Structures are given as structure tokens and as C-alpha cells.
Structure 1
Amino acid sequence: MREMYPHEEEMPYAREPLKSLYTFQRLFTTLCIVPWWVAYYGLLPRTSRPRESWSIKQIIAVNFTRRVYKVAERAGVTWGTRNPDKPCNNRTLKETRFEWVDPLPEECRSGVVVDDQVPFKKVGAFVWPKVKPTGSGVTGNNGKSTQGSPSSFASSSSDPSTLKEESSEPVIGVFLHGGGYCHMSAHETSNTSKIPRRLMKDKAFDEIYAVEYRLLQHAPFPAAIQDAAAVYAHILRQHELDITVSPITSQGPSVAGTPTIDNHLAPNSWLATTMEVRREKHEIKKRVAMAVKKKGCKIILIGDSAGGNLVLGVARWIRDEGILPPPDGLLLLSPSCDPSHAFPESPSSYIPRPHAETDYLVDTPEPRALLQRTFLGHHPLEVIHSPYVSPASQRCLRAFYGDTFATSVEELCIDRMNTRTIDHLRNMESGPPTPLLDIERSPTNLNHPALACPRGMSLFTDFPKVCVVLGDAERLEKEVIKLVGAMERDGVRVNTVWVKDAVHDILMMGWWDEDVRDRVWKDVEDWISQTVA
């Protein structure tokens, strides 16, 4: 029997034998209710169903999953996880191969990934397809290039008639699975592996690295960003990008720590001068542009749910530090982008997430707060409002855009995004920003992660192209619309795939309407093709 994780100590049914008894009764009673649901919704007219388009199967699946999710909240039950330090025998894998990736290189260790209490570690990755592509310009673990060139890179299992053009660069995906940072894994048998499996089946990528990043049970923030960044750097090195530069900083390496300022420092001792900021911005842009030319492949970061949150964090780290070339696109599938929702300013100010009757996600603040506090680890609670953790939180939006924009984007959650509102966002003038924690904003400081925005950039300045998949019946709808609104405000090219009557993360849900899922997959894969063209 494993030891209790920190976040489980306060859960009412996390101790044995209550844990086993509660889990059993919850599953048993849920199974007993299923026939009642079938009869009840079968007799009701379609107009009285949670969504008129839903079949009986979809209703049962949503209700069943919602009740089972309560087990995780109250008893701390996790599912589909594996030890990230444990290797996997490739003989047991049918579709993927397991590889160890070295820790993030020393020359890349700056910014939010540096933490004295969270060590850099080697990372496991399940790589789709199982057979390593031949004739590619990929370098092996010994650093020597294999025969061939990147232009001839293709999956060995692909049909020659469907291969990309000979002149095209290899298209690599980095998949970060969902599960609230406490469930699931990158293993090919995990539920979330339906996503890379389908993308590989449709030949949208030449390879996909599914990252076995550390969950909150194993290490706190920023461990997951460290692991994903290590795999990203590994792919760049395999495709002949030599990472030899050191970060350019005005005050030495920037480390994400406590968002407080030493009282003995002069008020402006940690601010860069305007000229220093301009010089740094120019040099970093020049360096990144050179790195892009040497990249040798196209990379898209893919994440569903909590994996989408991690994708946003990794993309932000790449942009903020300016050491590695940016990815070519971000594919966000029902991304979690406001974990701070579990920490309202006061109990009375807590606003439940929408669509309680049409999504399987639960929204009880106390257990979510326990999970998020464990995720933060030794960091102060204020870090939950960091752009690296909750980029769509109201406090974060106020800090970067002011109350005017924060209020406007809140209203968009009712009207949703359209061409008129997007143009309005891009053209509107932000009000004065509202500094969090009464700390003066700095254009270059990363020692204050709740306010970090180096070189005077806005929240999503210089982010790559983004595709967002979002169901209009899921509980994260409101925060994802805020995310899209902020990205559009900063000029990011966002393609939003709205899925009518869809719940959270439908591309992972094998029981959803297959025709609907096929249409979503087509939209996603069309976006991928256009992005890497």
C-alpha cells in the first residue's frame, strides 16, 4: 500500500478502510442507478434532456463519469498513473517505443524552471510510432547524425502515396497528457493516448513524443515544465540544433521564487534601464531568429486539459527566456487555464463554473484547492496567479490589461468570440494595469512569477499560432474564452474550434458521437497542415 500524498491528508475518505468502502459503494450505487437513468431519459422528450442532441449513451456516460469523479475528490483515488522514474520495457509496447531523455541542458536552465527544491531529472517519453523512422536527419543519443536528411523524414509505417513532400521538414509533436496533474500517464494504454494515436493514424505528424512528466504526487511546480522543456530541447538537438548559448540577462539569471522583495534593496535596484531592456530585447530576438533557421523540423506542442495548461507554461518559458526557438504552433484541447479558480478572494466571492448539468467535471472548491496547493509545493499561494499557472485568471488579466479589458473579456463569455468582438479586443485601449501583491511591475523581472513579463512584453506577445478546441457544454468554457480573448488582444493567430453540445476533452472520450469527433479531428488536422506548410 502506497503512502498518502500530501493533498490526501485533508480528504475525508482518503484513509483506509474508509477509502475502499467509499470507493466500492460509490461504484456500486452508480451501476445500480444506470438502469433508472436509461428508463427515465428514454421516456423524456428530447427537449427535456440536458442537451437535445444527446443520445441516451451520452447522457449515461456523462452522469456516470461525474459520479465516479467524486471518488477522486473525496478519497484521493488516482487512475492511469505510473512512476515517472520507472523505465518501460519496449517489448511490452505495441505502438510506441520508450526513450529516456536527458535532463534539461545546463545552458537552458534559467527563468521559472530553476528551483533549488525541484531537481532537474531525466524524463521518460513514449514515442509514436514504435519503429524509429529511417532515412531521417535524426541524431542518436550519442549525438552523431544518422544517415539521410530531415527532408526525407517520414514514418516507416506510412504509405508512400500519403507521405509529405520530399522538401518538407519533419513534423514533430510533443504531447502533454491531461488528468489534472494527478491522473493519467503518457503510456500508450492511457485514455489520453487516444489523441496521439489518432493523429498518427491520420499521418498528421511524423513522430509524437508523449512526455511522462512528473505529476504533483512526485514533484511540485515547476517539475512538469522542466520535464516538458527537456523533451523539447532533446528534439531540437536530434534535429541538429546546437544549443550552446547562454541566456542574456540584465541582472544575472532569473529564478522564479517567492514573489516578495528584500526590504533592504533600493526600490529600483532590480529594474533594468530602458536602454538595457532594448538591447536585451534586440539581442534575444536576433539569437532566436538564428536558432529558428537551424531548427530543422516543425514542432507543435499538444495538450489536453491540464496538459493544455502545461503547454501554455512551456511556451511561455520558451518565449520569456529566448534561448530556444519557439514551437510552430500550440494545439490546446479543452485547456485548463485558471487553476486559481479554486482560491476565491473570499468564500462569498466564489462563482461556480458553468454547465454543472452538462459536463462530467466536478467543481468542488475544497478538494481542488488541496490539489493546487500540493501542485505549488513550497511556493507561496500567490504563485497560483502566475501567468505560468493561471494565465486566464481575472487577477492576471487585470495585472496586464487593467480593469477595462478584464471586464470586457468577461462579457465575451456570454456573447462568445466572433469577428466583431475580436477586432474590438485588438483595437481597444487597456486601462492602467493593477499590480498584484502591491509590487511594482518590472519589464524584465522573473523573480516575481505572479507578474513576470520580461522585456516589456504583454501576456501573450510573440506566442505562436494556436488552435483551441472547446465544447460549449463544458465547465472550462468561461476561462478558455478569456484565454482566447487575451491572446487575440495581443495579436496571436487563434483558430477556435467550437464543438456544439460537447463536454470537456471530447477527443479523449471514446464514447462520444463519432461523427462529431471526426469533424473536430478534420478541423484540427487542417489547422496542423496549414501551420506546418
Structure 2
Amino acid sequence: MGKGIFSLKRQPFKGLYVAICMLDLVLRIPWWTLRNLFPAWRPRKSWSIGWCLRVRAFKYMADLRARVGPLDDLPDAKALRAGPGVLGLYVDGVPQYITAKLKAWADLAGVSPVRIPGYWLHNPGSKLVMGEKPQVRSGDSKREKVLFSLHGGGYIVLSAHPDSFTSKIPRSVLAHCANISTNVMRSFNIEYRLSSYDPNPRENPFPAALLEAIAGYAYLVDEVGFDGADIIITGDSAGGNLALALTKYLIEENTKLPPPGALLLLSPWTDLGNSHKDDPMATYYTHKESDILHPPVRLPDGKIQPDYAVTSYTGPHGVEFAGANPYISPASLYLKDEEVSFKDFPPTFITCGGAELFVDQIKDLVRRMKSQMGEKVVYYEAEDAIHDYIAFDWQEPQRSETLVEIARWVTSL
């Protein structure tokens, strides 16, 4: 269905099918409203009917995108997209920072460092010029800190571009930091290559995104002039997974790049393997009605159906590789605690929505990190919130409360 002349991914069939689905979506709303009429009938008693309908609609649209492809015109790593107010530039690959371990994985996957776009986000009213050297705040000589943001999307969708849905996250963090006068005024978002697999072209498996993350970090250090201690690596969902991998790489491999000063993980995807899918009572299943993500699918023989995002990201390494590699699955239960090192990791703030599928694996990551890092790890769980809730304006008051706590944490760094 993905390649034929009558494919739903081709026009005019795509447009016609999407129009039919939009009508179907509208017709479903009265039924969904009835099903969630009383608090006891809702996925979470604290949820409003509006929350219930939005979660249902999000899942419906996610299924539609899986069948027809992207519904919005977002850029990717192939080209920089300029526009009014867009602060973008190309970042060159950095083969000089690729060690033997990473090169071996890259060679197996058929990927190598390439030139990719990156986009700056500045606080509204900022007088900064794109790529300007770090500032020093007058009066207290406090050095500027910067967010290095890695977007979510399962490594297969979304973008670092300012128009992308997930750009709301660094914008929101910047805005709340500005409210309490922290010296964080901008974010740099790298446009890493997205992965894909059959029936689409097999492209950009691990470690392609990690190669791009290293390049973006090196740009901040080598070209803009930030000290590693003033860089806060930020990632949501798959971006949180990538942020962990980048930090691990910078600390454990002799790249000559300084390690970051802090790590901000928002609903991070921490186990791409099946270890948290084996237990039928895991939050992957018990939270299936209360999150925007879909739960794993069990086949008749009891095995877990391969996930498209995981299959795309692991590529020729194989799905089993995901659960056994701490760069990909630092919370994997297939790995012993001592096999996943967080030695010398910087102060870390981790958020989790209490209603999301990833609760179990995020808590296992927190447990592992705290056992090695102690009080350097801050865990914040927002009651009854969904996955990546900071990206959704309607996830209030949890969203704003979390952003306030993040801004306070940034002030303490």
C-alpha cells in the first residue's frame, strides 16, 4: 500500500482518504463524549471531558499519519528551511569527534557524519544575533547558559524547526526561565536525520541521530564558544533518549569535547527493547487508555509485535540490539544495573506524566541514576499527565507547575 499507484500516500487518494477520516473523526466525537460523560468512566477521574476527547483525537490522528504519511509540511535534515523570524544555519559533520566504537556502529549502519540544519530560538525581545558569543550578565558576572534541544518523535517524525510542534517545549522552558531572571536566553535545536524502514526506504538508523547530536554540541562549543558547563542538554521523548546517549558519549569517550553542565529529560524514552513490555501489568498496558501513545501489540504466540520506530532506528543492528545497548536503552531490564554507568553525569532533572505509558521505564532510569548520582538527580512526576505533556497547552495546571520547577532547578545550577 505504500508504493502502488493507488497508495494512500499518493495524491489524490491521500487527500480523499484524509477528508473521509476527518468526517469520521467528527462523527466519533458524540460517542466519545458519551463514553466519558461521568468522571468514573474516564481514563482518569481528574480529567475533564475535553482532556478525554483530545487524547482520543490525538491517537486517531497518529493512526491516520501512520497510514498516509505526514499531514503537515515540516522540514527535515535534507535542507534548511528559512522564513520570517527563522534563525537557521547549516552545521557540518564532525568526523574528528567520532571514536572507534561509534564508527564501528556507524559503518555497520551505513551512516556517516553529514551537514545538517540547526535552528536557534531566542526569547522574545532578545537582542541577540544568531550564533552570537556567550553573554555575561552585568552586575553579577554570571555566564550565559544555553539549551541544546533534541526533539522527540520516536526518531521517525517531527522536526527541530521553529514551526514544529515540539519547538513549544524549548520555547516554554526559555519563557519560564526568563520569568525568574535566569541567564538562559536561547536554545539551539539540531535537525537530526530521521529513521525509516519498510515499506519506506531504509534510512538513517542508529547512530545517525547521535552523529548529528555530537555535531550540534560541537558547534556550540567550538564555533559559538560556550563552555560545556554552561550547556543544558534538553530532550523530550526520543530526544530524551538521544540526550542520554550524547551525554554518555561525551563523558565516556575521549573526544576532547567538554561534558555538559546539566541534563533535562522530559518524558524520556529510556527502553527501546522489550524488557518493559514483557510484564502484562506494566504501565505500557495499564495506562493504555490514559496516554496519547499506543501500547505494544502482542501476537497470538505471545511475542511482541515489532515496533516500526524501533525497527527503523535499530536498522541492520536488529531489534535485540536495542535492549542490550546502554546507549539506546539505559533503563533496559535486560541489562544489570552495573552495566549502565552514570559516572560523572551532570545534574539531571527528569519529568514524567503520571498517566503515560513510559512511567515504569522512566522510574527504572531514575532509580539507576540516583543509585550512582544521589541528589544530583531530580525526579518530577505530574499527576495524571500524559506523555510529553509540556508540549500541550491544555495539560494544565501540570504543564505550568512543571515548567516553574524546571526554571527553579535551572537557577540552582
In 1, Cα distance between the equivalents of 2:194 and 2:305?
17
Using the TM superposition, give the Cα deviation of residue 78 of structure 1 relative to its aligned residue in structure 2, in angstroms: 3.4
Cα distance change on mapping 1:357 and 1:190 into 2, 3 Å: same
Cα distance change on mapping 1:168 and 1:101 into 2, 3 Å: same
In 1, Cα distance between the equivalents of 2:81 and 2:356?
35
Match of 1:103 among 83, 86, 93: 93
**Do the aligned residues in 1 keep the contact of 2:277 with 2:284 (CA within 8 Å)?**
no
* 1:169-184 alignment, distance < 5 Å: 169-184=143-158
**Residue in structure 2 matched with residue 505 of structure 1 by the alignment:** 388
The letter for the 2-side match of 1:359 is: D
* TM-superposition CA deviations, 1:247-301 (whole Å, max 9, x none): xxxxxxxxxxxxxxxxxxxxxxxxxxxxxxxxxxxxxxxxxxxxxxxx3760011
* TM-superposition CA deviations, 1:221-249 (whole Å, max 9, x none): 101000011010111113547xxxxxxxx
**Do the aligned residues in 1 keep the contact of 2:247 with 2:259 (CA within 8 Å)?**
yes
In 2, Cα distance between the equivalents of 1:499 and 1:350?
19
**Do the aligned residues in 2 keep the contact of 1:110 with 1:321 (CA within 8 Å)?**
no
**Residue in structure 2 matched with residue 355 of structure 1 by the alignment:** 287
Using the TM superposition, give the Cα deviation of residue 207 of structure 1 relative to its aligned residue in structure 2, in angstroms: 1.9
Q: Percent identity?
A: 28
Match of 2:59 among 66, 71, 79: 66
In 1, Cα distance between the equivalents of 2:33 and 2:280?
38
Match of 2:30 among 4, 27, 35: 35
In 1, Cα distance between the equivalents of 2:139 and 2:51?
41
**Residue in structure 2 matched with residue 521 of structure 1 by the alignment:** 403
Q: Does 1:227 align with 2:212?
A: yes
Using the TM superposition, give the Cα deviation of residue 484 of structure 1 relative to its aligned residue in structure 2, in angstroms: 0.6
Using the TM superposition, give the Cα deviation of residue 188 of structure 1 relative to its aligned residue in structure 2, in angstroms: 0.9
**Do the aligned residues in 1 keep the contact of 2:311 with 2:318 (CA within 8 Å)?**
no
**Residue in structure 2 matched with residue 335 of structure 1 by the alignment:** 268
* TM-superposition CA deviations, 1:51-73 (whole Å, max 9, x none): 12211111110111122222344
Q: Does 1:369 align with 2:251?
A: no
The letter for the 2-side match of 1:193 is: S
* TM-superposition CA deviations, 1:376-414 (whole Å, max 9, x none): 222244321211111111102x3x44xxxxxxxxxxxxx
In 2, Cα distance between the equivalents of 1:389 and 1:215?
15
**Residue in structure 1 matched with residue 84 of structure 2 by the alignment:** 93
Q: Helix, strand or coil for the counterpart of 1:184?
A: coil
Cα distance change on mapping 1:79 and 1:484 into 2, 3 Å: farther
**Do the aligned residues in 2 keep the contact of 1:376 with 1:383 (CA within 8 Å)?**
yes
In 2, Cα distance between the equivalents of 1:307 and 1:63?
24
In 2, Cα distance between the equivalents of 1:25 and 1:367?
29
* 1:180-329 alignment, distance < 5 Å: 180-202=154-176, 203=178, 205-217=184-196, 218-240=203-225, 295=227, 298-323=230-255, 324-329=257-262
**Do the aligned residues in 2 keep the contact of 1:342 with 1:369 (CA within 8 Å)?**
no
In 2, Cα distance between the equivalents of 1:329 and 1:113?
26
Using the TM superposition, give the Cα deviation of residue 83 of structure 1 relative to its aligned residue in structure 2, in angstroms: 2.8
**Do the aligned residues in 1 keep the contact of 2:354 with 2:386 (CA within 8 Å)?**
yes
Using the TM superposition, give the Cα deviation of residue 172 of structure 1 relative to its aligned residue in structure 2, in angstroms: 0.9
**Residue in structure 1 matched with residue 301 of structure 2 by the alignment:** none
**Do the aligned residues in 1 keep the contact of 2:229 with 2:259 (CA within 8 Å)?**
no
Q: Does 1:487 align with 2:369?
A: yes
The TM-score normalised by the length of structure 1 is: 0.65
Using the TM superposition, give the Cα deviation of residue 38 of structure 1 relative to its aligned residue in structure 2, in angstroms: 2.8
**Residue in structure 1 matched with residue 342 of structure 2 by the alignment:** 460
**Do the aligned residues in 2 keep the contact of 1:303 with 1:309 (CA within 8 Å)?**
yes
Using the TM superposition, give the Cα deviation of residue 119 of structure 1 relative to its aligned residue in structure 2, in angstroms: 1.5
In 2, Cα distance between the equivalents of 1:382 and 1:238?
38
Using the TM superposition, give the Cα deviation of residue 34 of structure 1 relative to its aligned residue in structure 2, in angstroms: 0.8
In 1, Cα distance between the equivalents of 2:131 and 2:155?
34
**Residue in structure 2 matched with residue 416 of structure 1 by the alignment:** none
Cα distance change on mapping 1:113 and 1:172 into 2, 3 Å: farther
**Do the aligned residues in 1 keep the contact of 2:276 with 2:361 (CA within 8 Å)?**
no
Cα distance change on mapping 1:463 and 1:334 into 2, 3 Å: same
Q: Does 1:394 align with 2:333?
A: yes
**Do the aligned residues in 2 keep the contact of 1:79 with 1:184 (CA within 8 Å)?**
no
Number of equivalences: 385
**Do the aligned residues in 2 keep the contact of 1:123 with 1:231 (CA within 8 Å)?**
no
In 2, Cα distance between the equivalents of 1:55 and 1:491?
38
In 1, Cα distance between the equivalents of 2:146 and 2:252?
22
Instruction: Tell me the C-alpha RMSD between the 2 structures.
Output: 3.3
Q: Helix, strand or coil for the counterpart of 1:467?
A: strand
Using the TM superposition, give the Cα deviation of residue 311 of structure 1 relative to its aligned residue in structure 2, in angstroms: 0.6
Using the TM superposition, give the Cα deviation of residue 49 of structure 1 relative to its aligned residue in structure 2, in angstroms: 2.4
In 2, Cα distance between the equivalents of 1:468 and 1:182?
23
Using the TM superposition, give the Cα deviation of residue 362 of structure 1 relative to its aligned residue in structure 2, in angstroms: 0.4
In 2, Cα distance between the equivalents of 1:136 and 1:100?
12
**Residue in structure 2 matched with residue 252 of structure 1 by the alignment:** none
Using the TM superposition, give the Cα deviation of residue 478 of structure 1 relative to its aligned residue in structure 2, in angstroms: 0.7
**Residue in structure 2 matched with residue 413 of structure 1 by the alignment:** none
The TM-score normalised by the length of structure 2 is: 0.83
Deviation larger for 302-311 or 232-241? 232-241
Using the TM superposition, give the Cα deviation of residue 39 of structure 1 relative to its aligned residue in structure 2, in angstroms: 4.1
**For structure 1, which runs of at least 5 residues remain unmatched after alignment?**
139-149, 153-162, 242-294, 402-452
Using the TM superposition, give the Cα deviation of residue 105 of structure 1 relative to its aligned residue in structure 2, in angstroms: 4.6
**Do the aligned residues in 2 keep the contact of 1:360 with 1:504 (CA within 8 Å)?**
yes
Cα distance change on mapping 1:50 and 1:378 into 2, 3 Å: closer
Match of 1:133 among 108, 128, 133: 128
In 2, Cα distance between the equivalents of 1:467 and 1:315?
14
Using the TM superposition, give the Cα deviation of residue 302 of structure 1 relative to its aligned residue in structure 2, in angstroms: 0.6
